[in-house]
């Protein structure tokens, strides 16, 4: 009995002393600790049970991984290789991302900034200048954003401001861009409430940092690429995607709820269950209908196909009045379409070609504009650092033909 009691005392002393010895040997790797087992006294018969505390053995443990220094994170950016270009890549994501403790409801936040713009040369036949080049070119984009993510995918939010000046809107109207909260808790669905870019067409729903060309197509510049205040729900399945929302027909905080607006888009994915063996095919349609002084409606259809290094897309839209970024036009019947082809010559160099036609008013004869575009994209670090060269020849029915050369860059931090 005395030996048993002595054994327990020795075990307790060993447990209490272990942290002290560990503190004195900080230079020794934890992985070198060996399992310690107390041997039974000699006078204990074989098979006799001995009660010992459960924590008298020390199992091998791994030392916590040290966080990378700023220099190491920047070296990672230097060696970064990006092969996918269908979403933004933020070069300093690891630097500007803050991760919260386990007991916090927040998982992480990220601060980011992006620039997309050109230093262009515009000239018309017979003279140099910006006159009659094309309509609604708004190239330079400067955004600063702050994203937050709750744990377990409960919710996320974004606050993004637009620093780019715009002559037809005041500073406040142009400043606030994305401001929303969202959740993905429902399987295959995403619900968003706030100020967002709704899916008016295919390219009209793209953010500026994933566009193939510096400028959008003419139907996108007139009908889409605008942000609105409302609520929307999107679904993502293997064979179908959809996005439906109800919004205020106001744009850029210029009026207080001038009317309601419905915007919806449906995409069928016939090759969705082939694991990309035959490429990725999307066939879809969209609608934007609402009231702002009068009723308006824009209907569209689109096809997009990607296979290895090749990409192609086609989009058509017809509007009986529209409510786009250049303002609403409820009394004009307009339409247009474009077709784009692209090929990755190497893993970093892409060549593009596009035909783009737009009729701003069917009631006016001979007023179509046609744009013939070719482009080169050099993805240094994916969409995080890209060099862009575009040439556009604009053929106008009722104005001088024009040319535009755009040398641009894109950087996401």
pLDDT per residue, tens digit, the chain (413 aa), is 444 444 444 444 444 444 433 343 444 444 443 444 444 444 444 444 444 444 434 334 445 556 788 777 788 887 888 888 888 999 999 999 999 999 999 999 999 999 998 876 655 554 444 443 344 555 788 999 999 999 988 899 999 998 876 656 777 777 888 999 999 999 999 999 999 999 999 999 998 899 999 999 999 999 988 899 999 999 999 999 999 999 999 988 888 889 999 999 999 999 999 999 999 999 999 999 999 888 999 999 999 999 999 999 999 999 999 998 876 777 789 999 999 999 999 999 999 999 999 999 998 888 899 999 999 999 999 999 999 999 999 999 888 888 989 899 999 99
Which residues, listed in sequence order, are joined to residue 338 by a DSSP beta bridge? 315, 356
Rounded CA separation 247/250 (Å): 8
Question: Residue 252: its pLDDT value, please?
Answer: 81
Question: Of all residues in the chain, what percent are helix, strand and coil, respectively (each to 5)?
Answer: 15, 45, 40
Give φ, ψ of 253 to 5 degrees. Answer: 55, 40
Rounded CA separation 143/124 (Å): 31
What is the DSSP code (8-state) at residue 413?
-
Rounded CA separation 336/370 (Å): 10
Q: What is the CATH number of domain 91-412?
A: 2.40.160.10
Whether 271 contacts 278, CB under 8 Å: yes
- All CATH 2.40.160.10 domain ranges of the chain, comma separated, are 91-412
In angstroms, the first-to-last Cα distance of the chain is 70
Question: Residue 75: its pLDDT value, please?
Answer: 80
Tokens of 162: 């637009």
CA angle 129, 130, 132 (to 5 degrees): 110
Question: Residue 5: its pLDDT value, please?
Answer: 42
Tokens of 117: 């713009």
Rounded CA separation 347/379 (Å): 8
CA-nearest of 31, 87, 121, 154 to 403 is: 121
Rounded CA separation 200/209 (Å): 17
Tokens of 138: 């708004």
- DSSP E strands in 325-401: the ranges are 327-344, 349-359, 369-379, 385-396
Which residues, listed in sequence order, are joined to residue 157 by a DSSP beta bridge? 148, 181
* b/e 114-134 (16+ beta carbons within 10 angstroms → b): bbbbbebebebeeeeeeebbb
Contacts of 358 (CB under 8 A, 6+ apart): 135, 218, 219, 222, 334, 335, 336, 368, 369, 370
Question: Residue 25: its pLDDT value, please?
Answer: 40
Q: For residue 283, how many other CB atoms are within 10 A of its CB? A: 14
Give me the DSSP letters along 259-282: -EEEEEEEEE-TTTTTTTTT-EEE
Question: Residue 212: its pLDDT value, please?
Answer: 94
Question: Residue 100: its pLDDT value, please?
Answer: 94
């Amino acid at each position: 009995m005395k030996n048993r009691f002595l054994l327990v005392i020795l075990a307790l002393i060993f447990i209490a002393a272990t942290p002290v010895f560990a503190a004195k040997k900080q230079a020794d790797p934890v992985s070198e600790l060996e399992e310690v087992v107390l041997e039974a006294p000699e006078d204990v018969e074989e098979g006799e049970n001995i009660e010992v505390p459960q924590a008298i053995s020390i199992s091998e443990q791994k030392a916590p991984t040290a966080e990378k220094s700023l220099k190491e994170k920047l070296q990672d950016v230097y060696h970064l290789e990006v092969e996918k270009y269908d979403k933004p890549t933020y070069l300093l994501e690891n630097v500007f991302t803050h991760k919260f403790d386990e007991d916090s409801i927040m998982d992480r936040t990220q601060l980011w900034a992006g620039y997309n713009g050109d230093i262009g040369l515009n000239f018309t036949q017979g003279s140099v200048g910006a006159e009659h080049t094309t309509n609604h070119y708004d190239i330079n984009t400067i955004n600063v954003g702050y994203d937050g993510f709750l744990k377990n995918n409960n919710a996320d939010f974004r606050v993004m401001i637009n620093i780019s000046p715009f002559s037809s809107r005041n500073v406040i109207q142009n400043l606030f861009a994305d401001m929303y909260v969202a959740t993905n808790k429902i399987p295959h669905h995403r619900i968003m409430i706030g100020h967002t870019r709704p899916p008016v067409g295919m390219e009209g729903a793209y953010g500026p940092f994933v566009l193939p060309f510096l400028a959008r197509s003419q139907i996108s510049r007139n009908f889409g690429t605008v942000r609105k205040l409302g609520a929307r729900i999107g679904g993502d399945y293997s064979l179908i995607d959809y996005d439906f929302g109800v919004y205020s027909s106001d744009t850029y905080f210029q009026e207080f709820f001038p009317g309601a607006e419905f915007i919806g888009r449906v995409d069928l994915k016939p090759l969705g269950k082939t694991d990309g063996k035959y490429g990725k095919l999307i066939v879809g349609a969209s609608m934007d209908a609402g009231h702002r002084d009068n009723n308006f409606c824009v209907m569209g259809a689109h096809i997009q196909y990607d296979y290895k290094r090749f990409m192609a897309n086609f989009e058509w839209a017809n509007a009986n009045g529209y409510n786009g970024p250049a303002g609403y036009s409820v009394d004009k019947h307009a339409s247009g379409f474009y077709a784009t082809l692209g090929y990755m010559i190497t893993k970093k160099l892409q060549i593009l070609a596009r035909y783009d036609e737009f009729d701003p008013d069917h009631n006016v004869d001979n007023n179509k504009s046609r744009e013939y575009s070719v482009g080169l994209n050099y993805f240094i670090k994916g969409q995080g650092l890209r060099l862009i060269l575009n040439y556009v020849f604009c053929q106008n029915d009722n104005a001088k033909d024009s040319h535009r050369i755009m040398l641009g860059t894109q950087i996401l931090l």
